Amino acid sequence: MTEVRNELVRKRYAAERRFRFYGAAALGLTALFLAFLLVDIVSKGLPAFRETSVEVDVTVDAAEVDPANLAGGNYDKMIKEAFRAEFPDVKGRTERKALSALLSSGGADTLRSMVIADPALIGKTVTVPVLLGDDADLFLKGLLTRVKTTAGAMPLHIAQLDGEEGFVLTGDKAGEEAERQLGLAAGDVIRFKGGALRVTGPQNGYLKAEPIFAPDPAITTLAAGQWDVLAFSVPESNRRISDAQVLWLDQLKSEGRIETSFAWRLFEAGDSREPELAGIRGALIGSLLTVLVAISLALPLGIAAAIYLEEFAPKNRWTDLIEVNINNLAAVPSIIFGLLGLAVFLNFFGMPRSAPLVGGLVLALLVLPTIIIASRAALKAVPPSITEAALGVGASKQQAVFQHVLPLALPGIMTGTILGLARAFGETAPLLMIGMVAFIADIPSGFTSAATVLPVQVFLWSDLPEMAFQSRTAAAIIVLLVVLFALNAVAIYLRKRFERRW
Amino acid sequence: MKRTLLTVSLVALTAVPALAARDQIRIVGSSTVYPFTTAVAEQFGKSTGMKTPVVESTGTGGGMKLFCAGVGEDTPDFTNASRPIKKGEFEDCQKNGVTEIVQLEVGFDGLSIAQSKDATPLSLTKEQLFKALAKNIPDADGKLIPNPNKTWKDVDASLPDVKIEVLGPPPTSGTRDSFAELVLEAGALKNPALADLKKADAKAFEAVWKSIREDGAYVEAGENDNLIVQKLTANPTALGIFGFSFVEQNANAIKDIPIEGVEATYETIADGTYKVARPLFVYAKKQHIGTIPGMAEFIAEYVSDKAIGEDGYLADKGLVTLPGEEADKTRAVAKDLTVLTAEDVK
């Protein structure tokens, strides 16, 4: 008998241990997913919070700026000319284009605002921090290719080929293959004072190279230490930055003129098709306007509906029907609300497309059921003794509800509302139908001006081909997550601070 | 507190009808043209000081529907399209009073089939792609059977023994339509049985090349091309279908597969040797010019040399620009605002 009983006990304990293990494993797996997601987003997004610029001395040409129309000056041209003037060796249209491609068109905006702030700058030379273009920026952040620079350890002989373009590279030792003794591979770049060559590889028994910056023909031998080798992890044909551009950036970097700073622009600019200029301010303000409309409608309507249904409405078939419908509405896919908004607000009432007002109305409909359900639950949780005591001392039903029940239920109502708000913040689908999924560069100025919202901005950026938009996307996700975490934190704080238990 | 909130919401509701005339251009349409039109819109906003146009990405069909809904401030001024306007859409426009449409061809988009940089390079023909991706293919007797091909070797003995796995856009996408038209239809025609079918029953033939297999060999990867790039890097044996600009921008991760021996590059798409390419259009509502400020200037910006020219900023964004003559033709249309007639629409 005891044998059997012990066996049963052992089994029961084993079952419990197994269950605990499953629970812990589920929790661990969830934590792992979450950690992976966060690490992935943060590591992708962090580079977007830094921006790189190069200091250029620009002469504000009086011929290019009309003092009566400071905004209309051709600042882009002034910056590009000043920048090109620093590389006098760069000739030829393609090279000059590649050189100015390092700079972002946003530099002109900086100079423009400098001149507008101080028109006395016209005719003078100023140092302008010019933002770098997205490819140069990505390269400097190490996201395009890794570069390994090693100093040449032995003498290098360069001989120009007769009759054809190119050079032959040889080391000192005869007999051994040149690429082995010099430690060079195809695609490596040799840099020295007065020129740069790209190794193309062995050909007819010789190690050949082609010029990036054609060297002085007088240079035939470079002593050890006079030349560097740049080895790339990604070959030139596969990256968005050429060998020549890398060398220019390296030169600027060694001169200490490249500045890295916090990218305030991300929070100050609206959307743009240039990744380095794109910011989330427009979307953030659009989100705030939209949610403001949504909450100023949904909160009073939701609480009023909840109070009536919970405290005053007679219990009959009609109120039952309404209750069932409210519960069902909370589970309706959000795109349906977008279609409703399109049909009612845009087509019937003729409201403007893409406006935060319409977006707010749609989101108000979306969160209304959630708020009603949460508010009713909070009202129900207030013990009936409170109402009874109030009624007992002669208060009317309305007085009892508004002066006693509602204040006690308010923390619960606020928590539910904030969670509804957080949902409204993260919605994109219903906004698709009413035209808020759009490229909107201007920062919205009111409830009827065109706007988009943060999650939509994430969606739009994630779909663009430029690599730099991927880190912008992750950065926007980080901001969205921070906003949502903050909202949830407020909800938790309210609950902890004002909650009463009976 | 509650009283103020109520008042605010009432004010917000009543403030709507008092809207001033629209002073911002509104553009809808294809998600393929979206990256280019947005760039033009931004330039237009910066250089003219007018409000930057709002560009919605609704897809070509959805854009046409909104565009053709009528004339007036609450309808869009332009629509982007990754194919020419269809006869039905044109008639719809006419019926709703949108009688003056200006069609601007702005450039090309090449469709690329790409694979991970780390994979063994493939080279495919349209016929092979049809045999690999069509839902039903003819057997030796010309009878249609469900596609039995599991690996590329099953499709053609010269291809490697690797499972067929192609990531591509879903049926709602214009890219998918173009892929079917440009690749699968041409591939199907190579098969004599299907060529006969086309003559006998054009509808049935269309059903054959339009149906892409659903047994897992073709994976609908959503409209987000960046996602497909990531999946290809993770899975080197899979292929992906992209717009050309994606392959161009992500050259460090993926590479183009030559179709019929021709690789997709700017040059091959622009000169027409790479056949898997489609023209991109912007349609303007001429009746809005004069009412909505900035439309003429926006058109001028779009067709300007610094935008759609060979070295223009749209080329930097991945647009395959029009060859000289075609660009001149577009500029002539933009200058005279030539209205599209029923004969122009096929």
CATH number of the domain that A309 lies in? 1.10.3720.10
pLDDT exceeds cutoff 90 at B159: no
Provide the pLDDT confidence category of residue B16 given band limits of 50, 70 and 90. very low
Residue A308: predicted pLDDT: 94
Q: B281 pairs with which residues across the strands? A: B81, B105
Quick check: is A375 in a domain?
yes
Least confident of A161-170, A406-415, B133-142: A161-170
Whether B8 shows a pLDDT value over 80: the answer reads no
Residues with Cβ within 8 Å of A103's Cβ and at least 6 positions away in sequence, in order, are: A54, A79, A80, A83, A130, A131, A132, A133, A136
The chain A residue lying nearest B117, using CA atoms, is A238
Inter-chain touch A462–B226, beta carbons under 8 Å? yes
Output b/e per residue, A375-386; b: 16+ Cβ within 10 A. bbebbeebeeeb
Question: A423 — phi, psi (to 5°)?
Answer: -65, -45
The answer, yes or no, to whether residue A165 has pLDDT greater than 50, is yes
Domain ranges of chain B: 21-109+278-344, 110-277
Report the run of H or E that residue A43 belongs to, with start and end. Answer: helix A2-45
Contacts of A464 in chain B (CB under 8 A): 35, 226
Domain B21-109+278-344 shares a fold with domain B110-277: yes
Token output for A177:
């293959």
Q: How many folded domains does chain A comprise? A: 2
Instruction: List pLDDT tens digits, range A43-89.
Output: 999 999 999 999 999 988 888 888 877 777 788 888 988 998 888 88
CB contact under 8 A, A441 and B52: yes
Q: In this structure, is residue A401 part of a structural domain?
A: yes
Among A142-156, A161-175, A440-454, B32-46, whose mean pLDDT is lowest?
A161-175
Number of H helices, E strands in chain A: 18, 12
Q: What is the mean pLDDT of residues A380-391?
A: 93
pLDDT at A155: 86
The domain of A40 spans 2-47
B248 with A303: Cβ contact below 8 A: no
Residue B12: the pLDDT is 47
Query: Does CATH place domain B21-109+278-344 in 1.10.10.60?
Result: no
Judged against a pLDDT cut of 80, whether residue A188 lies above it is answered with yes
What percent of chain B is modeled with pLDDT above 90? 26
A232 inside domain: no
Helices (H), A90-238: 93-100, 106-117, 134-140, 178-182
> Residue A425 falls within a domain, yes or no?
yes
Q: Is the pTM of this model over 0.90?
A: no
Q: Residue B282's beta-bridge partner residues?
A: B80, B104
Which of residues 322 through 381 in chain A touch B, CB cutoff 8 A?
Answer: 346, 349-354, 357, 360
CATH of B110-277, one of 3.30.43.10, 3.40.50.980, 3.30.365.10, 3.40.190.10: 3.40.190.10
- Nearest residue of B to residue A112, measured between CA atoms: B46
Mean model confidence pLDDT for chain B: 85
Tens digits of per-residue pLDDT, B253-292? 888 899 988 888 888 888 888 888 888 999 999 999 988 9
Considering the domain boundaries, does residue A490 fall inside one? Answer: yes
Contact between chains at A439 and B41 (C-beta distance less than 8 A): yes
Instruction: Tally the C-alpha atoms within 13 A of residue B200's C-alpha that lie toward its C-beta.
Output: 7
Residue B270, min C-alpha distance to chain A (Å): 20
Q: Is A242 part of a structural domain of the chain?
A: no
Over 80: is that where the pLDDT of A289 sits? Answer: yes
Model confidence at B18, pLDDT cuts 50, 70, 90, reads very low
Assigned domain for A244 exists: no
State whether A467 and B249 contact (CB < 8 Å). yes
Contact between chains at A71 and B57 (C-beta distance less than 8 A)? no
Query: What is the Rg, in whole angstroms, of the alpha carbon atoms belonging to chain A?
Result: 34
pLDDT for the residue B6? 47
pLDDT at B196 over 90: no
Mean pLDDT in residue range B301-311: 87
User: In this predicted structure, what is the pLDDT of residue B223?
Assistant: 65
